[in-house]
Amino acid sequence: MIVFLLVTLALIVSLFFNTLGAVSLYRFPDVYTRLHGATKCTTFGTIFIVAAVLVYSIGRMGGEPRFRVLFVHSIFALMVLLITNATGAHALARASHRSGLLPVGAVVDRLEERRNGGEAL
Amino acid sequence: MTIHVIWFAAALMGVLAFSVLGRLISGPTVADRAVALDTLNTYVLGLMLLLAVACDSVVMVDVGIVYASLSFVGTMFIARHIEGEV
Amino acid sequence: MFIFVASLLTYLLLVWSGDAIPLGEVLIGLLLAGVVTLAFKAWHPDRQLSRRGLDPRRWVNFVVYLFGPFAAGLAKANIDVAIRVITGKIRPGIVKVSPGLKSDLARTVLANSITLTPGTLTVDIDDAGGYYIHWLYVEDEDPSEEQLYGSFAKWARRLAE
């Protein structure tokens, strides 16, 4: 019963944040702000999906050894996701700024000022 | 009973993965499409984890790990392409 | 040496099937980890294979960082971004901050931490170690380090330099 409650709670939180990630793709005006929503909200949502899987596998761990494997491999998938999502977002932001895509409605842009100052990056 | 909740959440994740397609098709620039693709990949990884539990097959999690790594490589290449190096 | 141990542990974790690991798998893991280490040496001949990465105190520190300040920052960031997505109140901009980190690993740890925490996203790094950060709600055009990411720079320095 407690496994059921914890899994349901984690899945509700994860679906909430994943939905916000999808909403932010349509709501925000340019690439950089969309990256905020798309990276942070979906990563946080997937952390809670992994938490639900971990709770479920702990609940069934007494019987069969493959639930221990499920536990370890889910943690591994989470680590891969944390590293690759942040790095991918950084690469996309850098590439779009270098290709000349400026942030919409920005109040300050130090990177553009530096490039206009004539310094090579 | 827990399994039913997990199936339901997996169905909702599938709907979310479809909902990203609008930005993937209509995105004004290549970078917007790349962001939408990155989001789609994260959703598919979450979906794979949920289906691994629901279908009771642990090997699906390994497929998810490989999928995440390969999607990362794809994102990096698209970023390189936007920068104009490939 | 860190890359050898990391590849060996990754391989063993992925082939582990709930019971004891057979000796053959350990031998294959050792062989593959050796190949990866040799490839690393071939691609980066000037990098030294040091034993510093194996110090258990660094690993304990890293786990403390991951579950303490980093997890707190992540939760706070997501609630902040969630409110901004719902209300649509944004004031974006790219600001510069110079934490003055030297090693590549420390810079990577800090950049990834910044990307995953409150309303900030690393866009570029110059050679002097200055970070260009896209901020979702600019409070100050020349912010201090505290405002942007709290104590992460101190942690990155302790972990990786």
Q: Please indicate, yes or no, whether residues C41 and C112 belong to a single structural domain of this protein.
A: no
Supply the CATH number for residue C114's domain: 3.30.70
Q: What is the DSSP string of C82-102?
A: HHHHHH---B-EEEEE-----
Query: Could you tell me where the DSSP H helices lie in chain A?
Result: 2-27, 31-36, 42-59, 66-98, 110-116
Q: Please indicate, yes or no, whether residues C81 and C138 belong to a single structural domain of this protein.
A: yes
Contacts of residue B76 in chain A, CB cutoff 8 Å? 87-88, 91
Distance CA B63, CA C9 (A): 19
pLDDT recorded at residue B26: 87
The more confidently predicted of residues B4 and C99 is B4
At what angle are helices A42-59 and A2-27 packed, to 10 degrees? 170
**Which residue type does C96 have?**
K
Which single residue is written with the structure tokens 């810079």? C107
Contact status of A111 with chain C (Cβ, < 8 Å):
yes
> What is the average pLDDT score of chain C?
79
Mean pLDDT of A58-81: 83
Whether residue C154 has pLDDT greater than 70: yes
Distance CA C155, CA C106 (A): 9
Distance CA C82, CA B86 (A): 36
Whether residue A119 has pLDDT greater than 80: no
Structure tokens at B47: 């979906």
Q: Quick check: A15 and C82 in contact, CB under 8 A?
A: no
pLDDT band for C35, please (50, 70, 90 cuts).
Answer: very high
Query: Taking Cα atoms as reference points, which of C156, C153, C149 lies closest to residue C106?
Result: C156
Domain housing C150: 76-160
Whether residue C158 has pLDDT greater than 80: no
Q: Please indicate, yes or no, whether residues C94 and C46 belong to a single structural domain of this protein.
A: no
Domain housing B77: 2-83
Considering its fold, how many domains does chain B have in total? Answer: 1
pLDDT band for B70, please (50, 70, 90 cuts).
Answer: very high
Q: Which of residues 14-43 of A touch C (CB under 8 A)?
A: 17, 20, 23-24, 27-28, 30, 32-33, 35-37, 39-41, 43
Contact status of A48 with chain C (Cβ, < 8 Å):
no
User: CB C49: neighbour CB atoms within 10 A?
Assistant: 13
**Which residue type does B84 have?**
G
Structure tokens at A113: 């000022």
C67 inside domain: no
> What is the average pLDDT score of chain A?
83
Q: Please indicate, yes or no, whether residues C50 and C84 belong to a single structural domain of this protein.
A: no
Considering its fold, how many domains does chain C have in total? Answer: 2
Q: Give the mutation candidate from C132, C137, C149 for the A interface (greatest A CB count, under 10 A).
A: C132
